[in-house]
Each structure stands twice: as structure tokens, then as C-alpha cells.
Amino acid sequence: MMVSERLLRFVRLAVAVVPATGIVLASRLLRPFFTVRFGSLKADRIGHFVLETELMLHEQDVGIRPRPRRCIDIYYAPRPVSNTQIEMMWSRVIRMWPRWLMVAVYRINRLVPGSDRHIVPTASSSCLDVHNLLDRTAPKLFFTPDEIVRGNQLLRDLGIGADEEFVCVIVRDAAYYKQALPNQDLSYHDYRNCDVDTYVPGLEALADRGVVVLRMGAIVEKPMRSNHPKLIDYASSPMRSAFGDVFLASRCKFTISDGLGFYALPAAFRRPNAYVNYSPFHMFYSSRSVDLGIAKVFVDAQSQRLIPLRDLVGRDIARLTRTELIAASGMAICDNSPEEIRELLLEMNDRLDGVWRDEIGDDTRQQAFWSKFAAVIGPEGRAIHGELRSRYGAHYLRTHLEWFAE
């Protein structure tokens, strides 16, 4: 951080100290009459900014983490903010105060006795919907009429007709975090990165069925290489914007994601997610009945042999989340193949079109997989998942019977 930026932050904090101290002291004096609570949103990553905030509010509504009877909640979004459109949309739903003031309020509140009573509790399990709330609640975020007009114009500008279906695809690579969060070393998550080239056969198969495909991403490592007219590299387009990211995710037929935080946007608007290359495996997003997916798998680092799930039961390996720890275990993480990705995407499209037909044994294989998944993640893992409702890719289970066998 440059010296001028540090000086500016110090000046802002100094200016805010007096009013912030008054706000915190007033919160203590007013407590016999009503409770004033302060909430800091996790704004630097889109998944947390969207879904963790959404789940926190739903947990308050349904009484899982109820608000005090007489209560005023005041929130702010610390920098950096991953999406300015989301910040503006949250300000329509909850009371958002300026960060220059609230940073000081939050810090001073921690120094005054009784601070915990004046902090809004976060969601039970970060972005994981442990209480399956998204299946039984309405979205919190909404667009204004003017934004809907703007969004529909964006669709026209992208060449998407009013009657055309489109999907969004987001592929994790290292480019975004290196540029957006240069002071944070996130290389420990490199095993989660994917190669967009392996997605293209599946995306072209969707496009052949008349579905427009939009490659999403604020900053990407390389373009999506395809000559198919229905594949649009929106991430590299001058039309890409924070607003467009949110609007497109809210209107798509489904989103293709590897567990990167973008998946929270369609989830927040109750659009389906098709997961490929999901990682880490033990956090596979399983709480929504509309979702479908397959995950990256563990292989032996030397032989590249697929490790059966039964060999992971009762071991901490399945819950490793750092690249160096996975390597030290003698394991490696293997991406899904282009064919596996293609089959998963076509299955999702067919299911949403109502033309998918299960084969004999598919339901049995689903039950066997989810039973083994529950055993792998263990009681601690099950506690953060809630009810397992999503489906695993049928083609993958048909062709990898040994992987999840007893």
C-alpha cells in the first residue's frame, strides 16, 4: 500500500473517532430501550458478499438467529468491495452506513464492555446453506425498474433475443486474485484452478442445442477459444460490468461453476447451478434440490490412480484445503475430463427442459454416492451441509462405479 493511501486511511479514521465513539456510547445508553447492533459484511469476495449476507438475513427472519425484539442493525462493507452493484443492492435491503465512519465504530465497539451484544452474528456456516433456506425462501436482492430496462438492453447488445435461453459459465484461474487482491497470497488454493479449454466441447454442445453461452469473469487468464457463434466471451468484452455480472446471473437458465464465488449470484436469485470441477470436495454445494454437479477427485500423485471414496473415510485427507498439504499427503487433485464436463452440462440442460430420462439404477447409484459422501465428510462435515438435496452427475456415477463402491 502506498504511503499516501495509508495516510488517507489514518486521516479518515482520525476524523471518524469522535462521532464513532458517540455512536458506540449511545448504543450502550439506549440498550434498556432497544439494541443497536453493528454488522461488517464480508465484501472482498463475491460469494461471501452475496450468499453469506443473504443467509444471515434469512436466519434472522426464520428465528435461527433471531433479532432482539427491539433492535436496529447497522451494516457496512469494508474495502475492497468485490461488486459495487451488490453493495448498492444490499443498501436497499439493509441499513448501510458509510465505511469511513463504520470502520471506527466497529473497532471502538470492540473496546467497550458488552461489545458482543452489539455485533450482528454472521450466518451459521459461511456460504454453505446448512439450514436449506434457499429452497424455502424468496430472494432478498432485487432490481429497480430502471435496472431491468438496462439489463434487457444489455441482453440485446449481446445479441441475445427475447426468446433465447442463455447460460453463464465461470472458470476459476489465478488471474483475478493476483490483480484484485495483490497483497494476499492465495496460491494455497491453486488446486482449485481450472482450464477453460476443457469446457469448450461441453459449451459447444449446449450451443448446438440453441443455448447461448456467456463466459463470465472480471479478470481472466486467457480467452475462451471457440468459433461457435453462440459462445460469447463476455469476460473479455467491453460490455462487461459489475451490473451486468449480477443481472445476467439473475436471468440465466443456469450457471456453470466450479465453486468459485460467482455461484452465489444465481443462487441468490434462485437460478440453478451446474457444478463441474468443484473443489474442495468436502464442501460440495449440496443443499439445493435444483443443483447438479461433479467434483474434482483425489488421485495418487505418482500413479494417477483414482482414489476410491472408501479409502478417504475416516481420514483428514478429504478435508485438506491447501495445495501444499495435499501434495504432502501423496495425493493430487484431478480435474474432470472434457467428456465428463460435457455430459454433466447436457444432463442439466435436459433436466431443466423436462426431457431427461433416468436409466435403470440411477437412483440407486445416487443413494450410494451420497451415503459414501456423508461418510467421507464425517459428522463435522455433515453439520455444515444440512440436508443433502442436490444430485451428482448421472454419467459420472455410471462410469465410475468403483469410485464410490463399498
98-152 pLDDT tens trace: 999 999 999 999 999 999 999 999 998 878 899 999 999 999 999 999 999 999 9
Which amino acid is residue 241, in one-letter code?
Answer: S
Please, where are the H alpha helices in 254-390? 264-268, 323-328, 338-353, 362-383
Q: What is the pLDDT of residue 386?
A: 85
Given a cut of 90, whether residue 46 has pLDDT beyond it is yes
Task: List C-alpha distances in Å: 281 to 95, 190, 390.
Answer: 36, 14, 14
Distance CA 194, CA 261 (A): 14
Q: Which of 77, 120, 98 is nearest to 19 (CA)?
A: 98
Q: Find the mean pLDDT for residues 76-92.
A: 96
Q: What is the pLDDT of residue 384?
A: 79
Return the domain boundaries, the chain: 3-118, 145-404
Given a cut of 80, whether residue 182 has pLDDT beyond it is no
For cell 460469494, the residue is: 47
Distance CA 105, CA 110 (A): 9
What superfamily does domain 145-404 belong to in CATH? Glycogen Phosphorylase B; (3.40.50.2000)
Residues 99-112 as b or e (16 or more Cβ within 10 Å = b): bebbbbbbebbeee
Distance CA 46, CA 89 (A): 13
**pLDDT tens for each residue of 333-364:** 999 999 999 999 999 999 999 999 999 999 99
What's the count of helices (H) and strands (E) in the chain, helices before strands? 14, 11
Task: List C-alpha distances in Å: 111 to 28, 38, 106, 118, 120.
Answer: 12, 14, 9, 12, 16
Q: Which of 256, 249, 321, 259 is nearest to 285 (CA)?
A: 259
User: Is residue 301 within 8 Å of 320, Cβ to Cβ?
Assistant: no
Task: List C-alpha distances in Å: 11 to 17, 104, 203, 352.
Answer: 10, 12, 50, 54
Distance CA 212, CA 216 (A): 13
Can the peptide bond before residue 280 be classed as cis, meaning omega within 30 degrees of 0? yes
Q: What is the pLDDT of residue 177?
A: 60
Q: What is the pLDDT of residue 179?
A: 60
Given a cut of 70, whether residue 97 has pLDDT beyond it is yes
Given a cut of 70, whether residue 189 has pLDDT beyond it is no
Q: What is the pLDDT of residue 1?
A: 46
Q: What are phi and psi of 16, to 5 degrees?
A: -80, -15
The DSSP output letter for 258 is S
Strands 273-278 and 292-295: parallel
| Percent of the chain topping pLDDT 70 | 95
Q: Which residue has the higher pLDDT, 158 or 316?
A: 158
**pLDDT tens for each residue of 303-329:** 999 999 999 987 777 777 788 888 888
Given a cut of 70, whether residue 183 has pLDDT beyond it is no
- Helix%, strand%, coil% for the chain, nearest 5: 50, 10, 40
Given a cut of 60, whether residue 3 has pLDDT beyond it is no
Q: Find the mean pLDDT for residues 2-16.
A: 72
Tell whether the torsion through CA atoms of 280, 281, 285 and 290 is positive or negative.
Answer: positive
Distance CA 51, CA 192 (A): 20
Question: pTM of whole model > 0.85?
Answer: yes
**Residue-averaged pLDDT of the chain:** 92
Q: Find the mean pLDDT for residues 377-388.
A: 82
Q: Find the mean pLDDT for residues 227-248.
A: 96
